[in-house]
Amino acid sequence: MDGISLASPSFIRPRIAPYLVLPFLLLLSGCKEKESLDARGARIAESQAHGLDDAEIKVNKVFLHKGSSYHKSEPGTKLIGVDVEIIRPTGVDLDDVELLDGKNGKSLGSFPDIKFILANGDLGDLPPPESEKDDRIRVLFIYQVPEELSSIKLRYWGKDLTPRAANIESDSLSPPVK
């Protein structure tokens, strides 16, 4: 399992893309035909992705994360923080934001540790009250990644969120702004 122990948090919370789980969920729901599975899966993914239709996504910085997280750095891995601003989000499930290798586009999974970046630069577990009136949120996604990873892209339910890869900077900011 790529050096990840069975007791690690990354094993408990599988690092697989949400759209790969859909066929299994649909099968459990009684859908029996492959064409029907594919069609239903596509409709669900399209419906989920609509939460970002009118949104603007800005990746402020990608960096080595040295702060706290439920993800743990294990041999052959590192933690990265992705500082993202989302303007006009509607019905977005943030733990479904999928991380991609910026060089080859390979999925590295979803289920990041999510921290909200407050106006004063501190990190919080809940969205700040001003995010509702400003119609924007600033989030720190924390992912466990292979040590050799040098750049990333983001995707949400099959919809690319970043037009080009963002390099992982070597400095660490925890919290990312102050």
How confident is the model over 55-75, as pLDDT tens digits? 788 999 999 988 888 888 889
What CA–CA distance (Å, rounded) separates 65 from 108?
17
H-state helical runs in 50-166? 130-134
Q: Taking residues 146-160, report their average pLDDT.
A: 92
- Structural domain boundaries of the chain? 1-178
Closest CA to 142 of 45, 51, 65: 65
Instruction: Return the H-helix or E-strand segment holding 34.
Output: helix 34-49
- What is the chain's length? 178
Instruction: Please return the burial class of 17, using the count of CB atoms within 10 Å of its CB with bins 0-12, 13-18 and 19+.
Output: buried
What CA–CA distance (Å, rounded) separates 49 from 122?
29
Q: Taking residues 127-149, report their average pLDDT.
A: 83
How confident is the model over 66-124, as pLDDT tens digits? 888 888 888 999 999 999 998 877 777 888 899 999 999 999 998 899 999 888 888 88
Q: Is 107 in contact with 100 (CB distance < 8 Å)?
A: yes
Band (3; pLDDT cuts 50, 70, 90) = very low
Q: At what angle do helices 18-28 and 34-49 cross, to 10 degrees?
A: 130
pTM of the model: 0.71
What's residue 9's pLDDT? 37
